[in-house]
Amino acid sequence: MTNKQTIAAIVPAAGVGSRMQHNAPKQYIQLAGKTILEHTLAKLFQLPKLSTIVVALSDSDPYFDELSFVDKRIVRASGGKERADSVLNSLLFLAPNPPTWVLVHDAARPLVNISDIERLIDECMCADEGGILASKVKDTIKRGRTHAIQTVPRDDLWQALTPQFFKYDELKNALQNALASGATITDEASAIEWAGKPVKLVAGRSDNIKITTPEDLDLAGFLLHKQQNESAL
Protein backbone atom coordinates (compact mmCIF):
# COMPACT_ATOMS: atom_id res chain seq x y z
CA MET A 1 0.00 0.00 0.00
CA THR A 2 1.51 3.36 -0.97
CA ASN A 3 1.87 5.59 2.10
CA LYS A 4 -0.76 8.03 0.78
CA GLN A 5 -3.61 5.45 0.89
CA THR A 6 -5.38 4.82 4.18
CA ILE A 7 -7.98 2.25 5.23
CA ALA A 8 -10.68 2.62 7.86
CA ALA A 9 -12.80 -0.30 9.04
CA ILE A 10 -16.53 0.00 9.71
CA VAL A 11 -18.18 -2.67 11.87
CA PRO A 12 -22.00 -2.56 11.72
CA ALA A 13 -22.98 -3.67 15.24
CA ALA A 14 -26.27 -1.84 15.81
CA GLY A 15 -28.68 -4.66 14.99
CA VAL A 16 -31.18 -6.18 17.43
CA GLY A 17 -30.67 -9.77 16.26
CA SER A 18 -34.41 -10.50 15.96
CA ARG A 19 -33.86 -13.80 14.12
CA MET A 20 -31.66 -15.03 17.02
CA GLN A 21 -34.60 -14.71 19.42
CA HIS A 22 -32.21 -13.93 22.29
CA ASN A 23 -32.69 -11.57 25.24
CA ALA A 24 -29.81 -9.38 24.05
CA PRO A 25 -28.52 -8.41 20.60
CA LYS A 26 -26.68 -11.41 19.15
CA GLN A 27 -23.34 -9.56 18.87
CA TYR A 28 -23.18 -9.70 22.68
CA ILE A 29 -23.74 -13.45 23.01
CA GLN A 30 -20.73 -15.11 24.66
CA LEU A 31 -18.98 -17.82 22.62
CA ALA A 32 -15.58 -19.37 23.48
CA GLY A 33 -15.12 -16.97 26.38
CA LYS A 34 -15.85 -13.64 24.64
CA THR A 35 -18.77 -11.85 23.04
CA ILE A 36 -19.22 -12.30 19.30
CA LEU A 37 -18.35 -8.62 18.83
CA GLU A 38 -15.10 -9.02 20.76
CA HIS A 39 -14.13 -11.99 18.59
CA THR A 40 -14.84 -9.99 15.44
CA LEU A 41 -12.90 -6.94 16.62
CA ALA A 42 -9.99 -9.16 17.69
CA LYS A 43 -9.68 -10.25 14.07
CA LEU A 44 -9.53 -6.63 12.83
CA PHE A 45 -6.98 -5.73 15.53
CA GLN A 46 -4.60 -8.08 13.68
CA LEU A 47 -4.61 -5.76 10.65
CA PRO A 48 -2.08 -2.95 11.17
CA LYS A 49 -3.16 -1.38 7.84
CA LEU A 50 -6.40 -0.21 9.47
CA SER A 51 -6.03 3.38 10.68
CA THR A 52 -9.40 3.49 12.47
CA ILE A 53 -12.08 0.98 13.44
CA VAL A 54 -15.54 2.57 13.54
CA VAL A 55 -18.10 0.49 15.42
CA ALA A 56 -21.70 1.45 14.58
CA LEU A 57 -23.80 0.96 17.71
CA SER A 58 -27.36 1.64 18.71
CA ASP A 59 -27.50 4.86 20.70
CA SER A 60 -29.30 2.85 23.40
CA ASP A 61 -26.68 0.05 23.46
CA PRO A 62 -25.99 -0.61 27.17
CA TYR A 63 -23.45 -3.41 26.57
CA PHE A 64 -20.54 -1.93 24.59
CA ASP A 65 -19.23 0.27 27.40
CA GLU A 66 -18.94 -2.85 29.59
CA LEU A 67 -16.26 -4.13 27.20
CA SER A 68 -12.65 -2.97 27.30
CA PHE A 69 -10.20 -2.85 24.41
CA VAL A 70 -6.47 -2.18 24.43
CA ASP A 71 -6.53 -1.25 20.74
CA LYS A 72 -7.14 2.50 20.65
CA ARG A 73 -8.22 2.60 16.99
CA ILE A 74 -11.80 1.93 18.05
CA VAL A 75 -14.29 4.79 17.74
CA ARG A 76 -18.05 4.66 18.21
CA ALA A 77 -20.63 5.92 15.69
CA SER A 78 -24.41 5.87 15.81
CA GLY A 79 -26.21 2.99 14.13
CA GLY A 80 -29.28 3.51 11.97
CA LYS A 81 -32.61 1.88 11.25
CA GLU A 82 -31.18 -0.62 8.78
CA ARG A 83 -27.67 -1.97 8.31
CA ALA A 84 -27.13 0.34 5.32
CA ASP A 85 -28.06 3.33 7.48
CA SER A 86 -25.52 2.26 10.10
CA VAL A 87 -22.84 2.03 7.43
CA LEU A 88 -23.76 5.42 5.96
CA ASN A 89 -23.73 7.01 9.41
CA SER A 90 -20.25 5.58 9.93
CA LEU A 91 -19.09 6.94 6.58
CA LEU A 92 -20.40 10.40 7.49
CA PHE A 93 -18.67 10.09 10.87
CA LEU A 94 -15.39 9.68 8.95
CA ALA A 95 -16.06 12.66 6.64
CA PRO A 96 -13.91 15.23 8.52
CA ASN A 97 -10.85 13.02 7.99
CA PRO A 98 -11.83 10.56 5.23
CA PRO A 99 -9.77 7.46 4.49
CA THR A 100 -8.95 6.37 0.96
CA TRP A 101 -10.69 3.00 1.41
CA VAL A 102 -13.23 1.53 3.81
CA LEU A 103 -13.44 -2.10 4.91
CA VAL A 104 -16.96 -2.94 6.09
CA HIS A 105 -17.28 -6.11 8.17
CA ASP A 106 -20.33 -7.43 10.00
CA ALA A 107 -19.99 -7.72 13.77
CA ALA A 108 -21.90 -11.00 13.31
CA ARG A 109 -19.04 -12.58 11.31
CA PRO A 110 -16.39 -13.42 13.94
CA LEU A 111 -15.00 -16.42 12.05
CA VAL A 112 -13.49 -14.45 9.20
CA ASN A 113 -10.02 -15.57 8.15
CA ILE A 114 -7.33 -12.89 8.37
CA SER A 115 -5.57 -14.03 5.20
CA ASP A 116 -8.87 -13.74 3.31
CA ILE A 117 -9.16 -10.11 4.43
CA GLU A 118 -5.56 -9.37 3.46
CA ARG A 119 -6.12 -10.96 0.05
CA LEU A 120 -9.28 -8.88 -0.50
CA ILE A 121 -7.41 -5.67 0.36
CA ASP A 122 -4.39 -6.56 -1.79
CA GLU A 123 -6.42 -7.62 -4.86
CA CYS A 124 -8.66 -4.55 -4.72
CA MET A 125 -5.84 -2.08 -4.17
CA CYS A 126 -3.81 -3.70 -6.94
CA ALA A 127 -6.76 -3.40 -9.34
CA ASP A 128 -7.79 -0.04 -7.87
CA GLU A 129 -11.33 -1.43 -7.75
CA GLY A 130 -13.65 -2.26 -4.84
CA GLY A 131 -14.68 -5.79 -4.06
CA ILE A 132 -16.12 -8.29 -1.61
CA LEU A 133 -15.33 -11.63 -0.10
CA ALA A 134 -17.74 -14.20 -1.48
CA SER A 135 -18.11 -17.98 -1.48
CA LYS A 136 -19.25 -20.08 -4.41
CA VAL A 137 -22.69 -21.59 -3.93
CA LYS A 138 -22.29 -25.32 -3.21
CA ASP A 139 -25.90 -26.48 -3.04
CA THR A 140 -28.55 -26.80 -5.68
CA ILE A 141 -30.57 -23.57 -5.50
CA LYS A 142 -34.31 -23.43 -5.94
CA ARG A 143 -36.50 -20.39 -6.54
CA GLY A 144 -40.22 -20.29 -5.77
CA ARG A 145 -42.69 -21.87 -3.39
CA THR A 146 -44.06 -25.39 -2.95
CA HIS A 147 -45.32 -26.94 -6.18
CA ALA A 148 -43.95 -24.01 -8.16
CA ILE A 149 -40.20 -24.20 -7.87
CA GLN A 150 -37.41 -23.85 -10.39
CA THR A 151 -33.78 -24.87 -10.15
CA VAL A 152 -31.51 -21.84 -10.54
CA PRO A 153 -28.36 -22.34 -12.63
CA ARG A 154 -25.57 -21.92 -10.08
CA ASP A 155 -22.40 -21.65 -12.18
CA ASP A 156 -22.16 -17.90 -11.51
CA LEU A 157 -23.87 -17.83 -8.09
CA TRP A 158 -21.93 -16.55 -5.09
CA GLN A 159 -22.86 -15.88 -1.48
CA ALA A 160 -21.79 -12.37 -0.55
CA LEU A 161 -19.77 -12.27 2.67
CA THR A 162 -17.97 -9.49 4.46
CA PRO A 163 -15.60 -7.66 4.58
CA GLN A 164 -16.59 -5.53 1.61
CA PHE A 165 -13.91 -3.08 0.52
CA PHE A 166 -14.50 0.12 -1.44
CA LYS A 167 -13.11 3.61 -2.01
CA TYR A 168 -14.55 5.90 0.64
CA ASP A 169 -15.99 8.51 -1.73
CA GLU A 170 -17.42 5.91 -4.12
CA LEU A 171 -19.22 4.02 -1.36
CA LYS A 172 -20.49 7.13 0.44
CA ASN A 173 -21.93 8.65 -2.74
CA ALA A 174 -23.42 5.36 -3.97
CA LEU A 175 -24.99 4.57 -0.61
CA GLN A 176 -26.40 8.08 -0.18
CA ASN A 177 -27.91 8.13 -3.67
CA ALA A 178 -29.20 4.54 -3.58
CA LEU A 179 -30.92 5.02 -0.21
CA ALA A 180 -32.34 8.38 -1.30
CA SER A 181 -33.84 6.65 -4.36
CA GLY A 182 -35.53 4.05 -2.15
CA ALA A 183 -33.38 1.17 -3.42
CA THR A 184 -33.14 -1.93 -1.22
CA ILE A 185 -29.55 -2.10 -0.07
CA THR A 186 -28.52 -5.15 1.96
CA ASP A 187 -24.75 -4.92 1.44
CA GLU A 188 -22.24 -2.30 0.25
CA ALA A 189 -21.85 -4.04 -3.12
CA SER A 190 -25.56 -3.59 -3.89
CA ALA A 191 -25.14 0.18 -3.61
CA ILE A 192 -22.09 0.09 -5.87
CA GLU A 193 -24.00 -2.08 -8.36
CA TRP A 194 -26.91 0.39 -8.18
CA ALA A 195 -24.43 3.09 -9.16
CA GLY A 196 -23.40 0.97 -12.15
CA LYS A 197 -19.86 0.42 -10.94
CA PRO A 198 -17.91 -2.87 -10.93
CA VAL A 199 -17.47 -5.09 -7.90
CA LYS A 200 -14.65 -7.63 -7.66
CA LEU A 201 -15.56 -11.05 -6.26
CA VAL A 202 -12.73 -12.42 -4.13
CA ALA A 203 -13.21 -16.05 -3.07
CA GLY A 204 -13.31 -16.41 0.70
CA ARG A 205 -13.82 -19.28 3.11
CA SER A 206 -17.41 -20.47 3.41
CA ASP A 207 -17.01 -20.90 7.19
CA ASN A 208 -17.01 -17.08 7.46
CA ILE A 209 -20.64 -17.42 8.48
CA LYS A 210 -22.94 -14.63 9.61
CA ILE A 211 -24.31 -15.71 12.97
CA THR A 212 -28.02 -15.17 12.41
CA THR A 213 -30.25 -17.88 13.91
CA PRO A 214 -29.90 -20.08 17.03
CA GLU A 215 -28.57 -23.08 15.12
CA ASP A 216 -25.56 -20.99 14.03
CA LEU A 217 -24.31 -20.72 17.62
CA ASP A 218 -23.06 -24.29 18.14
CA LEU A 219 -21.14 -24.30 14.84
CA ALA A 220 -19.70 -20.83 15.50
CA GLY A 221 -18.71 -21.79 19.05
CA PHE A 222 -16.95 -24.93 17.84
CA LEU A 223 -15.07 -23.06 15.10
CA LEU A 224 -14.07 -20.20 17.42
CA HIS A 225 -12.63 -22.70 19.91
CA LYS A 226 -10.80 -24.39 17.03
CA GLN A 227 -9.36 -21.05 15.88
CA GLN A 228 -8.27 -20.23 19.44
CA ASN A 229 -6.51 -23.59 19.80
CA GLU A 230 -4.77 -23.15 16.45
CA SER A 231 -3.55 -19.65 17.29
CA ALA A 232 -2.25 -20.89 20.65
CA LEU A 233 0.06 -23.41 18.94
Ligand X SMILES: C[C@](O)(CO)[C@H](O)COP(=O)(O)O
Please tell me whether residue 110 binds ligand CTP under the rule CB under 6 A. Answer: no
Q: How many CB atoms lie within 10 A of CB 71?
A: 12
Nearer to ligand CTP among residue 8 and residue 14 (C-beta): 14
Residue 162 contact partner, candidates ligand CTP, ligand X, none, CB within 5 to 8 A by sort of partner: ligand X
CB of 37 to ligand CTP, least distance (A): 8
CB of 209 to ligand CTP, least distance (A): 10
Nearer to ligand X among residue 170 and residue 188 (C-beta): 188
Please tell me whether residue 79 binds ligand CTP under the rule CB under 6 A. Answer: yes
CB of 222 to ligand CTP, least distance (A): 20
CB of 39 to ligand CTP, least distance (A): 12
Stretch that binds ligand CTP, among 17-25, 46-54, 136-144, 200-208 (CB under 6 A): 17-25
**Are the CB atoms for 137 and 157 separated by under 8 Å?**
yes
Nearer to ligand CTP among residue 212 and residue 228 (C-beta): 212
48: cis peptide before it, omega within 30°? no
Residue 186 contact partner, candidates ligand CTP, ligand X, none, CB within 5 to 8 A by sort of partner: ligand X
* Residue nearest ligand CTP by beta-carbon distance: 15
Nearer to ligand X among residue 30 and residue 186 (C-beta): 186
Taking CA atoms, 107 is separated from 54, 119, 168, in Å, by: 11, 20, 20
Please tell me whether residue 12 binds ligand CTP under the rule CB under 6 A. Answer: yes
CB of 97 to ligand X, least distance (A): 25
Residue 204 contact partner, candidates ligand CTP, ligand X, none, CB within 5 to 8 A by sort of partner: none
Q: Which of 81, 103, 60 is nearest to 179 (CA)?
A: 81
Please tell me whether residue 120 binds ligand CTP under the rule CB under 6 A. Answer: no
Q: Which residues are near ligand CTP by CB under 6 A?
A: 12-19, 27, 56, 79-83, 86, 106-108, 210, 212
